[in-house]
Amino acid sequence: MIDIILLLLPPLIVFLQFFLFYRSRQLSPPSYRIAVIGFPRTGKTTLITVLFRQLLNRERRDNVSIVPRGTSTIDKINDDHAKLEMREQLGPTTDQDLFAYRFDMERGKWFKQRYKIEIGDFPGEDSEEFAKHFNNKFHKTPYFKWMMEADAFMILFDIAGLLQNETIAKKNKIDFESAIRIAWQNVAQYHYESKRNLKNKPVVLVFAKSDLFNFLDKEMLLADAISKKVQQWGFDEIPDVCEMDNEKLKNSMKQVEELFEDFIDYFNYESNQFNIVFASAFSWPGDSDKNERLGMKKLIEKILPAESSLLSVFKRW
């Protein structure tokens, strides 16, 4: 009998320790920050608003549940959602260093995991300045400190920037790639000096406003007449919610990935969790539900903390 007790004692102790660890995680969930990086008028705030709507629609489905946290978050996501429903522009994030959307997330069916999530929406002008003109003063700003401590990064490129005449499109692409590389190298330097692992943090390159591919004919770079249409729906007005032309989407995605091949290869090396998402706040894929916005399901899966098995959590512990 004593032999049996001695045999069972070690695994019982391990189980008890793990139970106490799991319980402490439930009572005090870990924080998880997502930094959103993009130039002015990229559609960062609109994308985040629609991302919240998708998350709330998925509640009690897909083993994901969220609860917005704080009056500022609750007011903003509901006010912005109402504006989009009324076809009103949200306008830029201004008059502050950042706006942090906060919510609690629980995922998992049997072994539930909880997180306190923050999504940082920075003024686009600050994102551009940080990327292009990094200097010794920036490390003292809330922008810098918040971004450097992020657990995941969402980098937005505006498809409207490509659907212009050839000269403008080329300049937009070069400016974006150069700025993001500079910003990322400063992030990497910070992690290296503080001995933190950057490679295992999720990085998602989001090609926003991908519904504009519906305006394409045969060429990637468009004539002036269609460029005016892109300007209208890409920057000046809220577009109609529409179904994506799957054939145009498929062909356009291939062209964009070829156009950004070197940039994509760079981040594939920089991150073990790099992904590409073509997203739209105002369209749904032709083969899906009308309430499912293009790319949002994949974005949720890739940018938020992944559902882990009991074994993987035990290994991390």
**How does pLDDT run across 254-308, given as a tens digit for each residue?**
999 999 999 999 999 999 999 999 999 888 887 777 778 899 989 988 998 876 5
The three-state secondary structure class of 35 is strand
Residues 259, 65 contacting (CB under 8 angstroms): no
Beta strands in 122-175 (DSSP E): 152-158
For each of the domains in the chain, give its residue range(s) and CATH number, in order of start: 31-107+114-316 (3.40.50.300)
**Strand 99-107 vs strand 242-243: parallel, antiparallel, or unpaired?**
unpaired
pLDDT (mean) for 124-133: 56
Residue in the structure block whose two tokens are 């009690």: 60
Write out pLDDT tens, residues 104-128.
Answer: 988 777 667 888 999 988 765 555 5
Residue 69's contacts (CB-CB under 8 Å, 6 or more residues apart) are 102, 103, 104, 116
The three-state secondary structure class of 284 is strand
Query: CA-to-CA distance for 49 and 142, rounded, in angstroms?
Result: 23
Range with the largest mean pLDDT of 55-69, 227-241, 271-285: 271-285
Nearest C-alpha neighbor of 92 from the set 55, 54, 38, 148: 38
Query: CA-to-CA distance for 286 and 290, rounded, in angstroms?
Result: 9
Query: CA-to-CA distance for 136 and 115, rounded, in angstroms?
Result: 33
* 23: number of Cβ within 10 Å: 10
Query: CA-to-CA distance for 245 and 72, rounded, in angstroms?
Result: 37
pLDDT (mean) for 160-185: 85
> Residue 189: which H helix or E strand, with range?
helix 166-193
Residues 165, 215 contacting (CB under 8 angstroms): no
Label residue 94 by pLDDT band (50, 70, 90): low
